[in-house]
Amino acid sequence: MIQSILGKKIGMTQVYDAQNVLVPVTVIEAGPCAVVQVKTTSTKDGYNAVQLGFDVQKNKNASKAELNHAKGASLAHAPRVLSEVRLPSAPTAKVGDVITVSIFAEGQLVDVSGVTKGKNFQGVVRRFRVAGGPAAHGSMFHRRIGSIGMRQTPGRTWKNQRMPGHMGTDARTMQNLRVVKIIADKNLILVKGAIPGANGDDVVVRTAVKGQPKKA
């Protein structure tokens, strides 16, 4: 059974749970996702997976290959997002099936994968929270990294030394987020806590790999 769905981050808000406790949640518009392609070990692909399509793009903006690929799944428009979901066994889903938020239940744990916000080029103080030097006048060493290697020993800069550079746009997964509420008619999932990315960014929601109750 497919336990993953594609979606996009809408934003954060707060809701009250059954105990009247105010819970911070992230709203995710998840699905509906059409099954565009099915792959099994018995085919030339050599592994079990399904390809899901999320959102639509105008036909004038899609390539001929994308339109033909969507036509093979009986879709009127090419999906804006295509992503594969690996499965441990041969999938029971067929091309053209639709995956909705009904595959999840309130209270269960999910993992949400996305890409963090880009911060451009940043120094070590912001990028790695380095303390920096004295802030007083005349120090000339306020937000710098300091020594990165000695002359004789080690005589070089260590690998993975914290340095200024590009920050953000990293693939990250938030694990074991609890599903607070599901609004099926609007394809919305409310999960407790924050998830990677800015509002409107694409994410993948799947059943949590860790944190699930052990089978007896």
pLDDT tens digit sequence for 110-152 = 999 999 999 999 999 999 999 988 888 888 889 988 888 888 8
The encoded tokens of residue 215 equal 């089978």
Q: How many CB atoms lie within 10 A of CB 31?
A: 23
Both 157 and 131 in one domain: the answer is yes
Q: What is the pLDDT of residues 7-43, one digit of tens each?
A: 999 999 999 988 889 999 999 999 799 888 888 888 7
**Confidence (pLDDT) at 216:** 55
Residue 213 domain-assigned (yes or no): no
Residue 86 domain-assigned (yes or no): yes
Q: Dihedral of the CA atoms 35, 39, 42, 44 (nearest 10)?
A: 140
Which backbone phi and psi does 5 adopt, to 5 degrees?
A: -150, 150
Rounded to two decimals, what is the model's pTM? 0.83
| Parent domain of 101 | 4-113+175-207
Both 20 and 99 in one domain: the answer is yes
**Confidence (pLDDT) at 203:** 94
Q: CATH code at 77? A: 3.30.160.810
**Confidence (pLDDT) at 111:** 94
Both 70 and 146 in one domain: the answer is no
CA angle 197, 203, 208 (to 5 degrees): 110
